[in-house]
């Protein structure tokens, strides 16, 4: 450090959603890893198993579960379907129930699928520039309904945690499927 002026350690490309810098953590989920979330999981062929369903770039400035901190990330969903169901994220409730999250669409098009604790399920269209506040106690999942990558930014509390188990047990009560070319929640 010279004269108390620091160099910025991370960079965000607001056009592509790309995050870069030493502290950025990258993860990915293949179709094989998440196939059980799809209605027609048997339609994921051996060939498709290694296909990347989505990648996440994230910045975790504090340890997970630290109260008062924030995490920041970009989710990049591949286009495509499993049967008639659009490629989607696993989706989760937050372990700390009263924590919210922001999602915003950077590029592509898709839907934010939401479900409350009474299993009431609905979806919101996402296109470039759309910002969505997800309140606490609402499970959230993204689905890519377009022909290009669907890129979504996210910011969430560092103590929110991910409750995937509830989704594994009960699933979302509705699925987003392609009905004659129209994304439909059924």
Interface segment toward ligand M6P; rule CB under 6 A; list 61-69, 84-92, 111-119, 143-151: 84-92
Phi and psi at residue 176, in whole multiples of 5°?
-100, 110
Q: List binders of ligand M6P among 30-59 (CB under 6 A).
A: 56
Residue 73 interacts, among Zn ion, ligand M6P, none and using kind-specific CB cut-offs from 5 to 8 Å, with ligand M6P
Contact by Cβ (8 Å): 157, 102: no
Which of 134, 176 has the CB closer to Zn ion? Answer: 134
Residue 144 backbone phi and psi in degrees, to 5: -90, 110
| Least distance to Zn ion, CB of residue 1, Å | 35
Does 92 engage in binding with ligand M6P (CB under 6 A)?
Answer: yes
101 is a site residue for Zn ion (CB under 5 A):
yes
Site for ligand M6P in 96-125 (CB under 6 A): 101
> Within a 10 A sphere around the Cβ of 17, how many other Cβ atoms?
21
Q: Does 175 bind ligand M6P (CB under 6 A)?
A: no
Q: Is 94 in the site for ligand M6P (CB under 6 A)?
A: no
Phi, psi of 64 (to 5 degrees): -55, 145
């Amino acid at each position: 450090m010279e004269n108390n002026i620091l160099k910025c350690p991370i960079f965000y490309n607001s056009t592509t959603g790309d995050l870069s810098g030493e502290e950025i953590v990258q993860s990915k989920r293949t179709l094989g890893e998440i196939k059980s979330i799809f209605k027609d999981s048997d339609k994921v062929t051996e060939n498709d198993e290694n296909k990347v369903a989505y990648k996440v770039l994230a910045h975790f400035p504090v340890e997970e579960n630290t109260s008062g901190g924030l995490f920041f990330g970009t989710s990049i969903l591949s286009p495509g379907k499993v049967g008639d169901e659009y490629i989607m994220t696993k989706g989760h409730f937050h372990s700390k129930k009263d924590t919210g999250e922001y999602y915003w669409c950077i590029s592509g098009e898709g839907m934010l699928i939401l479900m409350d604790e009474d299993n009431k399920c609905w979806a919101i269209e996402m296109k470039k520039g759309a910002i969505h506040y997800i309140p606490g106690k609402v499970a959230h999942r993204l689905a890519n309904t377009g022909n290009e990558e669907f890129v979504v930014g996210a910011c969430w509390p560092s103590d929110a945690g991910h409750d995937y188990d509830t989704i594994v047990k009960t699933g979302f009560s509705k699925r987003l499927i392609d009905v004659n070319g129209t994304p439909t929640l059924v």
